[in-house]
Amino acid sequence: MAKLLAERLGFLLLTVWIVTTVTFLLFRLMPGDPTLAYLSPTFNEETRQTLLVSFGLDKPLWQQYLIYMANLLRGDLGTSFLQRAPVVQILGDALPNTIILTLVSLSCAYAFGIVAGAFLAFHRGGALEGAAIPAALATRSAPEFWLGMLLLAGLAFQLGWFPTGGAVDPGSSLATFRQRIGSADFWHHLVLPALTLTLYLQGLPLLLMRATMLEVMGDEFIVMARMKGLSRWSIVMRHAARNALLPVVTAFALGLGASVGGNVVVETVFAWPGVGRVLVQAVQGADYPVAQGAFILISVVLATMNTVADLAYAWLDPRVSVGARR
Amino acid sequence: MKRLLVAAAAAVVAGTIPAPSQAQPAGDPIRPIVLLTQPQAALPQEYQAAELIAAAWKQLGLQVQIRPLPSQQFSQIVWYERQRWDASTWQMVGRPERSDPDELTYNLFLSANIANGYNFVGYKNPEYDKLANAQRQELDLNKRKALIIQLQEMINKDQPYGFMVHPKNVVAFNRAVWDEKSVIDQAGIGARNTWTWLNITPLTAQKDIILNSVSVPTNLNPFNISGAQGSWAAEIVWDRLMRIGPDGLAKPWAASEVTRPDPLTVDVKLRAGMKWSDGQPVTIEDAVFSLVAPGISDKSPMYKPFVANIANVQATGADTLRITLKKPDAAFLVSSLSKLNLAPKHVWEPIFESLKGKPETAESIMEAKPVSSGPFRLTKAKLSEEIVLEANPDHWAKPKAARWIMRIQPNTEAALGALRSGEINFLSDYNGDPQLLRDLAKSDPNIKMAEALDMGFKFIAYNNRRQPFDVAAFRVALSASIDRELLAEDAWGGAAVPSNSWVSPALAFWHDQGIENRVPGGSVEAAKKILKDAGYVLVNGRLHYPAGVKETTPAFQ
């Protein structure tokens, strides 16, 4: 297990290094330079050069790379070209909002998906299954922005039950994340983006759980449980569901990683101040340091969650680590 | 064979094959023209306009290819690779300091700006240069106006641009919350302006102006020119010696009096009793510092050009100062005194000192609680969420609203919904279909829409350096073929008016009345005649240069 751990951590570091290097090159090799974002008739070449120097873009690419890697190791992601604030601070402000949105929607989606998947597997072939599976597939396939706009139109514009965007009311005095998370205002604003993501995400655990349950339900130990006269509830929840959960747990870990960067659309539709929105704004405004920082953060979280899923799988199912040693 | 001859004869009669008159000698065929623009998803109006214009040019016998490029690459090529491209969509946006036409008159077409200045199309006309310099030195308003009109006529004759439209600013507000009579329309800017923020009067207990922005504003400080949305806040947080009034003319603001004893001298008397938000008085030393600081180092690169013409600033009394200019500048009050923010010397002088020898500029400084003297004070700047300003109770022009809250809402439809639901009460940033907003205003009596002509304009930039755009007659023909009414109605959905000058009709004093209807020719047929008269020849439906002219310019790749 220790060897596997070292091996996976090694892969993780390699992945992060490749991602950071590709991210660096990606932004530098794009046509145009960021001073173009500030074009004004009062600018002349001298002004442009001053801006390039202040951004550190006047240096050769390799020097920029060394400075970038050295800063990265110190946890310094640079300063935003547009907001002129440290990138760490910008991402640090956004990350908790993304985490809370991700955790709430993933938890709701997986809780619902697991229960509904188990239920549908147990009642296979019924009318309910006939309606539920297409519905789950439809919400899974529907674009997030479309789902979000539908919910906005119905629950915010028409009924006025929820706000149209943001994390708190305009001019709110709730300054810190801790103050916000303890307020009803914050949770009220969270409902629509979280509901959109939940609807979008629930299809996978539901279908996965149902498929695995169907497989498990045919196993001999379930037949044995039936022969022992155990109740249906006990067979489903204590025996079948527990054994069917393994791939769903793995999917949850991967989903957690992917959602940190995958909430871009929902965060934009609902003006939710998370990492995804920061990334969109940075790319639109050619704000290299922020875009780089956001990409790196998302990649690190995703790679880390992949590693965690790998290790968890190996821990839960020893055959995986045995396979790795072969 | 017989059938072929009949078909050919019919084609000649129908005019699809050049008539015998086109047997006149012709030069090389004109290479396919590449019209640069931005992707439809980014700028749908410009893209549609490019399609309509390309269709018109094809009727002249040109081969035209529309090439959409991502924003950064588009700007890089048009701005920094000036020999490379043929024609491009472009725009000049309206800003309060452009209420005086000098900035654009001088920057856009002066030959001194061809290499790396704003004359990126490479227009060269010594007569224009002479008049543009003359208007800058003319302090008599009426004489200067005559020169500006003359310059507009000159550009109309030469058509270095194919002017398209002046867009309209479309905003809306809740008139159940705000007294609609207190919303002020600023010439060339519209209802979303400093005067509205100061004057807008609440009708209910809701006293906060809650507006929207689709983009995140940049850092706010008196030495940083924030993006458009950031500027809305910066303009009311920091005072300036002068402000552009609703009529588009500069009027004293933090100065109680501004006089110009001669073309090189400006005398300023500071308004009495002003205070910084930290309680200290606004002094004449602060005013001198604010005018000098951007010019003494490279620490304020964005503001440096605005003080480039200042030779000296000196306090001449407890509340007076004198500015000496390097050369006469008729627009100085608008372009500089109405642009430079008053910054507290006791705060910013140490900051400028601390930046010496460092690559950072003063623009990157973000104070937690900025010290300012303006009618509003910055109390919260969570740039990706909202900016909150509070009315300054000590200001001599105290706003009637309690707070000014700008919500960042990238989703235009959601912003529209927020206006309906009352979450925002001033839709200040709207880039959606204007008809949607008109429909909303019709269906909801509380919503008042305000459309106002912008001082900016949209145009096709012809690269005057390159064949065939180096010949005025060719450019005139291209411009003549542009149906501006169609562009305004179809591409801009009625939220624009035809343009044929860089001076918008919104700036009524300076605008050459009716110039939009005086584009030489003014139709595709007239354009064909202009080309024919200039010696261009249609051969098999393709436009050729006049006899003897070779195509020597490489096509845009």
Cα separation of A274 and A277, whole Å? 6
Q: Rg for chain A (alpha carbons), in Å?
A: 24
Mean pLDDT for chain A? 81
pLDDT for position A325: 46
Contact criterion met (CB < 8 Å) for A160 and B104? no
pLDDT for position A51: 65
More confident residue, B154 or B97: B154
| Facing residue for A165 by CB, picked from B103, B304, B414 | B414
Tell me: pLDDT of B10 over 60.
no
Q: What is the mean pLDDT of residues B534-548?
A: 94
Cα B332 to Cα B188, B264, B265, B297, B336: the distances in Å are 19, 10, 10, 21, 5
Which string of b and e fits A99-135 if b means at least 16 CB within 10 Å? Answer: bbbbebbbebbbebbbebbbbbbbeeeeeebeebeee
* End position of a domain, from candidates B326, B342, B373: B373
pLDDT for position B479: 96
Q: From the CA of A264, how many Å to the nearest CA of chain B? A: 12
- Find tokens 């940083």 and name the residue: B224
B180 within a domain of the structure (yes/no):
no
Report chain B residues whose CB lies below 8 A from the CB of A85. 219, 366, 383
List B residues 334-363 in contact with A (Cβ-Cβ < 8 A).
359-361, 363
Contact criterion met (CB < 8 Å) for A94 and B301? no
List B residues 118-157 in contact with A (Cβ-Cβ < 8 A).
118
Contact criterion met (CB < 8 Å) for A271 and B107? no
Amino acid at B510: W
Contact criterion met (CB < 8 Å) for A84 and B364? yes
Contact criterion met (CB < 8 Å) for A82 and B116? no
DSSP label of B543 = E
| Facing residue for B407 by CB, picked from A85, A156, A170 | A170
* Percentage of chain A lying above the pLDDT 90 cut: 9
- Which structure tokens are listed for A162? 């929820």
Contact criterion met (CB < 8 Å) for B72 and A56? no
pLDDT for position A11: 85
Q: From the CA of A119, how many Å to the nearest CA of chain B? A: 37
Look at residue B353 and give its three-state secondary structure.
helix
Tell me the pLDDT tens digit for each residue of B151-160: 999 999 999 9
Q: What is the mean pLDDT of residues B41-51?
A: 89
Cα separation of A63 and A58, whole Å? 10
| B388-395: long-range contacts, CB 8 A cutoff, minimum separation 24 | B388/A171, B389/B233, B389/B236, B389/B237, B392/B277, B394/B275
The phi, psi pair for A280, rounded to 5°, reads -60, -45
Tell me: pLDDT of B385 over 50.
yes
Q: From the CA of A84, how many Å to the nearest CA of chain B? A: 5
How far, in whole angstroms, is CA B190 from its chain's centroid? Answer: 13
| Contact status, residue B172 vs residue B440, Cβ threshold 8 Å | yes
Q: From the CA of A76, how many Å to the nearest CA of chain B? A: 16
DSSP per residue, B354-397: HTTTSS--GGG---SS----SSEEEEEEETTTEEEEEE-TT-TT
Amino acid at A18: I
A229 Rama class: left (phi>0) / alpha (psi -120 to 50) / beta: left
Q: What is the mean pLDDT of residues B245-263?
A: 92
Contact criterion met (CB < 8 Å) for B216 and A285? yes
Contact criterion met (CB < 8 Å) for B305 and A47? yes
- Find tokens 């090439």 and name the residue: B67
Q: Rg for chain B (alpha carbons), in Å?
A: 26
Q: What is the CATH number of the domain that holds B291?
A: 3.90.76.10
More confident residue, A204 or B496: B496
Question: Does B368 share its domain with B232?
Answer: yes
Q: From the CA of B225, how many Å to the nearest CA of chain A? A: 9
Query: Which of the residue ranges A280-284, B99-103, B253-257 would you say has the lowest mean pLDDT?
Result: A280-284
Q: Percent helix, strand and coil across chain B, each rounded to 5? A: 35, 20, 45
Question: Does B162 share its domain with B235?
Answer: no
The phi, psi pair for B235, rounded to 5°, reads -65, -25
Q: What is the mean pLDDT of residues B310-323?
A: 95
DSSP per residue, B500-523: -SSS-TTSTTTS-TTGGG-SSS-S
DSSP label of A143 = -
What pairing do the DSSP bridges indicate for beta strands B310-315 and B542-546? unpaired
DSSP per residue, B428-470: ----S-HHHHHHHHHH-TTEEEEEEE-S-EEEEEE-TTSTTTT
B188 within a domain of the structure (yes/no):
no
**3.40.630.20, 3.30.70.3450, 3.40.50.720, 1.10.3720.10: CATH of A94-284:** 1.10.3720.10
What's the pLDDT band for A321 if we cut at 50, 70, 90?
low
Nearest residue to B288 (alpha-carbon basis) of B367, B224, B343, B370: B343
Tell me the pLDDT tens digit for each residue of B391-443: 999 999 999 999 999 999 888 888 998 998 899 999 999 878 888 899 999 99
| Contact status, residue B208 vs residue B388, Cβ threshold 8 Å | no
| Facing residue for A79 by CB, picked from B364, B383, B386 | B364
Nearest residue to A281 (alpha-carbon basis) of B382, B44, B214, B417: B214
Domain count, chain B: 2
| Facing residue for B409 by CB, picked from A84, A271, A284 | A271
Cα separation of A252 and A260, whole Å? 13
B209 within a domain of the structure (yes/no):
no
Q: Is A191 exposed, middle or buried (0-12, 13-18, 19+ CB in 10 A)?
A: middle
Q: What is the CATH number of the domain that holds B506?
A: 3.10.105
| Contact status, residue B78 vs residue B90, Cβ threshold 8 Å | yes
- Find tokens 């310019």 and name the residue: B553
Q: Which residues touch A60 (CB under 8 Å, ≥6 apart)?
A: none
Element (H, E) at A30: none
Note whether B306 contacts A: Cβ–Cβ < 8 A: yes
Contact criterion met (CB < 8 Å) for B411 and A50? no
ipTM: 0.76
Which site among B105, B411, B420, B457 would you substitute to test the A interface, given the most A Cβ atoms closer than 10 Å to its Cβ? B411
Tell me: pLDDT of B231 over 90.
no
Contact criterion met (CB < 8 Å) for B305 and A175? no
| Contact status, residue B403 vs residue B388, Cβ threshold 8 Å | yes
Contact criterion met (CB < 8 Å) for A32 and B72? yes
What's the pLDDT band for A74 if we cut at 50, 70, 90?
confident
What pairing do the DSSP bridges indicate for beta strands B87-92 and B457-462? antiparallel
Note whether A33 contacts B: Cβ–Cβ < 8 A: yes
Question: Does B362 share its domain with B251?
Answer: yes
Amino acid at B403: R
pLDDT for position A320: 60
| CA neighbours closer than 13 Å in the CB half-sphere of residue A81 | 26
Helix axes A275-284, A288-316, angle to 10 degrees: 140
Note whether B385 contacts A: Cβ–Cβ < 8 A: yes
Amino acid at A188: H
Longest dimension (CA), chain A: 86
Q: Where are the alpha helices (DSSP H) in chain A?
A: 2-28, 45-55, 61-73, 87-122, 127-141, 144-151, 177-181, 184-201, 203-217, 220-227, 232-233, 242-262, 264-269, 275-284, 288-316, 318-325
Contact criterion met (CB < 8 Å) for A31 and B407? no
Contact criterion met (CB < 8 Å) for B407 and A269? no
B354 within a domain of the structure (yes/no):
yes
| Facing residue for B409 by CB, picked from A153, A165, A171 | A165
Contact criterion met (CB < 8 Å) for A156 and B360? no
| Contact status, residue B63 vs residue B542, Cβ threshold 8 Å | yes
Q: Which residues touch A139 (CB under 8 Å, ≥6 apart)?
A: A147, A199, A200, A202, A203
Contact criterion met (CB < 8 Å) for B304 and A47? yes
Query: Which of the residue ranges A112-116, B168-172, B404-408, B485-489 would you say has the lowest mean pLDDT?
Result: A112-116
| Contact status, residue B386 vs residue A253, Cβ threshold 8 Å | no
Sign of CA dihedral A80, A86, A87, A91: negative
Enclosing domain of residue B349 = 228-373
Nearest residue to A56 (alpha-carbon basis) of A74, A70, A42: A70
Question: Does B343 share its domain with B236?
Answer: yes
Contact criterion met (CB < 8 Å) for A164 and B409? yes
Note whether B366 contacts A: Cβ–Cβ < 8 A: yes
Contact criterion met (CB < 8 Å) for A171 and B388? yes
Q: Where are the alpha helices (DSSP H) in B113-237?
A: 126-137, 141-158, 194-199, 228-237
Q: Which residues touch B164 (CB under 8 Å, ≥6 apart)?
A: B49, B53, B89, B457, B458, B459, B460, B482, B484, B487, B498, B499
Tell me: pLDDT of B335 over 90.
no
Question: Does B362 share its domain with B479?
Answer: no
| Contact status, residue B408 vs residue B415, Cβ threshold 8 Å | no
B207 within a domain of the structure (yes/no):
no
- Which structure tokens are listed for B251? 């009027």
Nearest residue to B257 (alpha-carbon basis) of B245, B242, B244, B237: B242
Tell me the pLDDT tens digit for each residue of A244-285: 777 787 788 777 777 776 688 899 889 899 988 888 888 777
More confident residue, A185 or A79: A185
Contact criterion met (CB < 8 Å) for A54 and B403? no
List A residues 218-277 in contact with B (Cβ-Cβ < 8 A).
268-271, 273, 277
Which site among A50, A64, A277 would you substitute to test the B interface, given the most B Cβ atoms closer than 10 Å to its Cβ? A50
Query: Which of the residue ranges A30-39, A79-88, B45-54, B221-230 would you say has the lowest mean pLDDT?
Result: A30-39
| Contact status, residue B220 vs residue B233, Cβ threshold 8 Å | yes
- Which structure tokens are listed for A241? 């569901």
Domain ranges of chain A: 94-284
List A residues 43-102 in contact with B (Cβ-Cβ < 8 A).
43-45, 47, 50-51, 53-54, 56, 79, 82-85, 90, 93-94
Which site among A26, A36, A67, A98 would you substitute to test the B interface, given the most B Cβ atoms closer than 10 Å to its Cβ? A36
pLDDT for position B71: 73
Mean pLDDT for chain B? 89
| Contact status, residue B227 vs residue A81, Cβ threshold 8 Å | no
Tell me the pLDDT tens digit for each residue of B136-149: 888 888 999 999 99
DSSP per residue, B420-435: HHTS-SEE----S-HH
Chain length of chain A = 326
B408 within a domain of the structure (yes/no):
no
pLDDT for position B14: 43
Note whether B409 contacts A: Cβ–Cβ < 8 A: yes
